[in-house]
Amino acid sequence: MEHAAVHAPAHADSVPALLFPALLLGLYAFAALRPRRAGRRWSPWRTLSFALGTALLGLALAPPVVAFAQADLRGHMLQHLLLGMFVPLGLVLGAPGTLLLRTLPIRATRILLAFLDSRPLRTLIHPLTALVLDIGGMYLLYLTPLFVLSAHDPLVHFLVHLHFLLSGYLFTWAIAGPDPTPHRPGPWLRLGVLFLGTALHATLGKLMYAYGFPRGTAHPPSEIRAAAQLMYYGGDVAELLLAIALFTLWFRRVPTRAFPGRIDDRHALPGSD
């Protein structure tokens, strides 16, 4: 029994973990497919994006990937890239906040918007806060003994993964999320933060490659270098997509061509138009 318990957790944790993306997608689909009294139907592209996000989340939590991540630093990095960058991109571009707002009763919507407009929330969803939480968290994990701690302590491990997912979502939303974001800074500041974030992510990849971070693990140097390169190039792809998302939002709002009237950047709901 003792012996079995050592190997069981990866799988035992993974099955309920897979229910989470399925539940997310189910709720989203329920809201998206609900018949509407007025207004247009929900964009299938948004649904597709969100479905891709949940599918990648399922992949990141799938037993073979979890096992790969435990054995090999490249596996960990794959999981990290999925959870922290690609899953959030899919979810955020699915505009779940907009869907939620149009699904909830009007009173709940008002409460939610007031909550988003509160000072702590405003500070939290500022791109600079998101940058510190997201990229700062990565520096903390890989350059300090936190990584070794997370490899040995299941609770810390879980919290680190949750942090990646949430801070990745926050960063993606703050930079290029189509959901309504009260008091969102202008596109130049968001572009500047994306620029800095991309540079810091690339720098971290090279630091890990050059100086053999994370330290104190049993992973051979060649594996660490391969993982660092995966982080560097994988991050490039995610940041390229994020830049495309930001510019799509930006150029759609320029009131020169398609929109003769002025559109308020802060409160427009592109998913529901």
Partner 1 sequence: MSVPLQTDIHRSMLASVLIGIGLMAGVDEIIFHQLLGWHHFYDLATPKIALFSDGLLHSAELIVLVAGFFMLIDLRGRRALASTAAWAGLFIGLGGFQLFDGIVDHKVLRLHQIRYGIDNLLTYDLVWNASGAALLLIGLLLGRPRAGGRPG
**Which residues are near partner 1 by CB under 8 A?**
191, 194-196, 198-203, 206-207, 209-210, 229, 232, 236, 239-240, 243-244, 247-248, 250-251, 254, 256-257
- Residue closer to partner 1 (CB basis): 159 or 199: 199
- Residue closer to partner 1 (CB basis): 173 or 209: 209
- Residue closer to partner 1 (CB basis): 14 or 229: 229
The CB-of-195 to partner 1 minimum distance in angstroms stands at 5
- Residue closer to partner 1 (CB basis): 112 or 207: 207
DSSP notation for 54-98: HHHHHHHHSHHHHHHHHH-HHHHHHHHHIIIIIHHHHHHHT-HHH
Say which residue the tokens 């933060």 belong to. Answer: 193
DSSP notation for 7-29: HHHHHHHHHHHHHHHHHHHHHHH
The CB-of-252 to partner 1 minimum distance in angstroms stands at 10
Closest CA to 128 of 196, 34, 204, 54: 196
The CB-of-53 to partner 1 minimum distance in angstroms stands at 21
Cα distance between residue 204 and residue 181, in whole Å:
30
176 by Cβ neighbours in 10 Å (0-12 / 13-18 / 19+) ranks as buried
- Residue closer to partner 1 (CB basis): 132 or 191: 191
The CB-of-188 to partner 1 minimum distance in angstroms stands at 11
The CB-of-192 to partner 1 minimum distance in angstroms stands at 10
The CB-of-247 to partner 1 minimum distance in angstroms stands at 4
Which value, in Å, is the radius of gyration of the alpha carbons in the chain? 20
Whole-angstrom CA distances from 68 to 77, 79, 102, 153 are 10, 9, 40, 18
Whole-angstrom CA distances from 211 to 165, 218, 221 are 26, 15, 9
Q: Quote the tokens at residue 33.
A: 């497919």
- Residue closer to partner 1 (CB basis): 68 or 250: 250
The CB-of-92 to partner 1 minimum distance in angstroms stands at 17
- Residue closer to partner 1 (CB basis): 32 or 130: 130
Residues 6+ apart with CB under 8 A from 206: 228, 232
